Structure 1
């Protein structure tokens, strides 16, 4: 269901983000937290401690301004503080804090971060963005609608998480722990796949339409919800040229996130038609000796395996999984018949996971964006 335009009551205008919120204090370091008082301190993952005083008196929105979670936004209570890795955004008078939260989230901050080593976004830059700003009546209607959608998304996500846990448990039952307790000989990924990257796409090659061009965050969205809309494209002619040279992944190939949250995998489907960012995403092109994609995905979803992956990757400040790092990773390879047995189990679980819940997530996500777009088009 797509919401109609002008569905929210009240007047709406376009303003700069900096016109409806101001920067709050955000100078605390982790070592400054003494846990000596009642006032909470927020970090990227939530409350990380407490202090005897607070920096921000009103409810506000905190945005992760650097590191792997750059751009993530969360609501914070009054009389609290945030670490220096977060940017506090204090709503001005006449601005509902929950509206500000949904608005900032809809901006998808962090996808075009600056900085060659550490991803970093600045309020002085994104504060100039023109955003829809309805009156208080319109804000509250939007908040009510989007809060309800968020609750439904949370319920569906929890159900999917339970099914993921079921798959992980079955994997360990069949194959043991891939790091400490495997029953099978290990082989390097370089012996199981052709480990490589995509062809670099320059800004001048991007077009207004054509074949979608996905960045790191877009691949994450594909993994999480099955949908992604980067708004970036390359021409169909350029895509076909790349395909003719064997530079486009085939069904069954695997894309692996190589920066930020490492080791997240997306299996290429027959219906997929997109290209992807080089450097941030590594391509495992299947060869004759490759294990089944469902088995590889389960290996990379194992928490012990991910811990080992993070210990052995490149980078001291921001972890980076280089092509050579990934090529040298060794995984246990059980007999193919056991992999097929596991794949059958995963297929049955996926019928529950994707038959209804993922469709719900996709629909709800579309409604969220359409709601903002309808407001943005209102004068």
Structure 2
């Protein structure tokens, strides 16, 4: 791409702006109204997830005039899950958004928007904001950073060719992700069949506080295995997915992580407490830990099942439901961009506790579905590898 001109995003955009959180202006979210789009309304590939949409009033939408969305606007996440890109379509409108999504409005007829979406996910752009991450625990980008992103801009014919080539691979990736999503939905459907809706007592077992069903944020002092020189798994926030996967391959020595990090053990449940990771669904059952012990981000809450009382796979599923996450979001504390779910929310959340035998049956079902997911994940990883290698070849 050496023969192709490079331009600043700010030079081809009519507008680059962002929104704000309605609650900071005294407006509450509603059950219906104007769509309010947040990062969690889009998956990592930019596909729209309508079930994640929140709603605001007409009055609030007018107050947030600057961030009213138009068809064709490019959304680029600048906080939390950095670099997630989506194009606003007619089905999303009318809509507004918050400060975690930059709005990039390009009306130049010589620019093909699917190409812009493609290039914003390429190594060329990722390298530019990764440089800013050095020495920063949680990277957030400013609108100035977005304006200064430099991209290659070939003629429109080649823009279309590149977008169509990668679009075919993207279609395969989307199909695989849909298959995985269907399997996750199957697990949720089985949960409701066995236990009813989380937070309700549909089976007549009575309601208990979640803090009575598990230990919240267990202390490391009671773990006698923790000795100097012991190798443990290290799990930063990016190592936990929004669909229950966890990467435990990074190792640290206990001496290096015993302070300043969150302690957990094999089969503990991790729950991301900070925005937007919590709303996006980050969490997992911690399995495959080195020596059965892990340390990780301080932005995790840890839920430890009680022997004979609760099962970790049941616990994780409770926390994965969107209804649970919405209740958690409503109880967040702190300022915009640094809002967190307090441990007290987990302690006091009312849940119907099923018999442990039924919970264990549910775990068996989850593990059977997980076996089916392995083959799909393998095919997905292979396609992503091809996608990334071609991205590097064309745009690296």
Q: Is the 8 A contact 2:262 2:300 kept in 1?
A: no
Root-mean-square deviation over aligned CA pairs? 4.9
The 5 Å alignment of 1:1-379 reads 11=2, 15=6, 17-18=8-9, 21-24=12-15, 43-44=37-38, 45=41, 59-64=72-77, 71-76=83-88, 83=96, 85=98, 86-90=102-106, 95-106=111-122, 107=125, 121-131=141-151, 139-182=159-202, 183-185=204-206, 186-189=208-211, 192-195=214-217, 214-215=236-237, 218-219=238-239, 222-224=241-243, 226=245, 241-242=256-257, 248-259=263-274, 260=276, 261-262=278-279, 264-270=282-288, 276-278=296-298, 280-285=299-304, 288=307, 291-315=310-334, 319-352=339-372, 354-377=373-396
Which stretches in structure 2 are left out of the alignment for 5+ residues? Answer: 26-33, 42-47, 63-67, 134-138, 221-232
| Alignment deviations for residues 268-299 of structure 1 (CA, whole Å, 9 cap, x no partner) | 12167985332x32233456466222111221
- Judging changes above 3 Å, is the alpha-carbon distance between structure 1 residues 95 and 158 closer, same or farther for their aligned structure 2 residues? same
Does structure 2 conserve the Cα–Cα contact (< 8 Å) formed by 1:62 and 1:74? Answer: yes
The question of whether the paired residues in 2 share the 8 Å contact of 1:12 and 1:133 is answered with no
Q: Distance in 2 between matches of 1:27 and 1:244?
A: 37
Q: Contact (CA 8 Å) 2:243, 2:282: kept in 1 or not? A: no
Tell me, in whole angstroms, the C-alpha distance in 1 between the residues paired with 2:201 and 2:74: 44
Q: Deviations over 1:116-143 (max 9, x none)?
A: xxx9643311333455556656544432
TM-score normalised to the size of structure 2? 0.64
**Aligned equivalents of 1:368, 1:341: Cα separation in 2:** 39
What's the CA shift for 1:101?
0.5
How high is the TM-score relative to the length of structure 1? 0.66
Note the C-alpha offset of 1:20.
Answer: 6.3
Q: Structure 2 CA distance, aligned partners of 1:348 and 1:193?
A: 27
- Counterpart of 1:36? none
User: Quick check: 2:200–2:352 contact (8 Å CA) kept in 1?
Assistant: no
Q: Distance in 2 between matches of 1:251 and 1:167?
A: 22
Comparing both chains, which one has the higher relative contact order based on Cα–Cα distances under 8 Å and sequence gaps of 6 or more? 1
SS at match of 1:314: coil
Offset of residue 192 of structure 1: 1.5
SS of match in other structure, 1:334: coil
User: Which deviates the most, 246-255 or 134-143?
Assistant: 134-143
How many correspondences in the alignment?
A: 332
- Mapped partners of 1:349, 1:155: distance in 2: 18
Contact kept, 8 Å, 1:28 with 1:84, in 2: the verdict is yes
Greater fraction of residues in helix: 2
The runs of 5 or more residues in structure 1 that have no matched partner are: 1-9, 32-39, 114-118, 199-210
Q: Deviations over 1:102-127 (max 9, x none)?
A: 222345699989xxxxx964331133
